[in-house]
């Protein structure tokens, strides 16, 4: 196990013009400052010191290597980008067109639609396949922005929420 931390005290005690750190050592902000003031160079191997990626510990490492994978969304891009869009509100011409146009603009493909109109109010549920690489967040924002407070409300959810 490498030295975990380099503190300001460690820097003050060092007499050399440079300190060579092992991979994974974290230098505290105070130590960085002390080294700069004293003109001491911090190195990891041949390169200048840069904060290492966080070492989350042996369990995290083991989990990454060994996990008998439960299906995760990132294993299946199709799952990662399936959205469920719901819209509820007053019926008027052009509602469906506005929503589907926004979906098309984000290159979403409507897989399924269910719609009902009761006494001038409608509710609609669409399942939408997004193209891989489409940002779910941007898609969600764009569609939810269509909502008018007195008119109808659009909500977008990730399909994974429904998978047991």
Partner 1 sequence: MSFSDREILETVRMLELETLDIRTTTLGISLFDCADPDLESACEKVYAKVVHHGKDLVAVADSIAGDYGVPIVNKRIAVTPIAWVGAASGADDLSPLARALDAAAAAVGVDFIGGYSAYVEKGFTRADRALIDSIPIALATTERVCSSVVLASTRAGINLEAVRRFAEVVQDTARRTAARGGIGCAKLVCFANAVADNPFVAGAHMGVGEPETVLNVGVSGPGVVRSALERLGPEADLLAVAETVKRMAFKISRVGELVGREAARRLGTVFGVVDVSLAPTPAPGDSVADILEIIGVERTGAPGTTAALALLTDAVKKGGAMASSSVGGLSGAFIPVSEDAGMIRAVAEGALSLAKLEAMTAVCSVGLDMVAVPGDTPVSTLTGIIADEMAIGVVNNKTTAVRIIPVPGKSAGETVEWGGLLGTAIVQDPGRFGCEVFHRRGGRIPAPLQSYRN
Sites of contact with partner 1 (CB under 8 A): 4-5, 7-10, 26-31, 51, 54-60, 63-64, 72-74, 84, 86, 112, 114, 123, 125, 127, 136-137, 140, 155-158, 160-162, 164
- Pick 65 or 93: Cβ nearer partner 1: 65
- Pick 29 or 93: Cβ nearer partner 1: 29
Instruction: Using alpha carbons, select from 109, 52, 55 the residue that is nearest to residue 83.
Output: 109
CB of 123 to partner 1, least distance (A): 8
Q: Which long-range contacts (CB under 8 A, 24 or more apart) does 138-141 make?
A: 138/106, 139/83, 139/106, 139/108, 140/83
- Going from the C-alpha of 119 to that of each of 87, 89, 144, 152, the distances in angstroms are 16, 11, 24, 15
CB of 96 to partner 1, least distance (A): 17
CB of 13 to partner 1, least distance (A): 11
């Amino acid at each position: 196990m490498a030295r975990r931390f380099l503190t300001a005290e460690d820097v003050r005690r060092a007499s050399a013009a440079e300190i060579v750190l092992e991979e994974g050592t974290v230098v505290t902000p105070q130590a960085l400052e002390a080294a700069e003031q004293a003109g001491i160079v911090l190195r990891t191997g041949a390169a200048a010191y840069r904060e290492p990626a966080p070492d989350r510990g042996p369990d995290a490492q083991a989990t990454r290597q060994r996990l008998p994978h439960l299906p995760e969304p990132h294993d299946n891009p199709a799952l990662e980008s399936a959205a469920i869009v719901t819209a509820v509100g007053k019926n008027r011409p052009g509602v469906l067109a506005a929503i589907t146009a926004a979906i098309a603009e984000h290159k979403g493909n409507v897989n399924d639609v269910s719609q009902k109109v009761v006494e001038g109010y409608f509710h609609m549920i669409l399942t939408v396949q997004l193209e891989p690489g489409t940002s779910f967040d941007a898609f969600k924002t764009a569609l939810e922005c269509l909502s008018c407070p007195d008119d109808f409300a659009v909500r977008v959810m990730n399909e994974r929420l429904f998978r047991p």
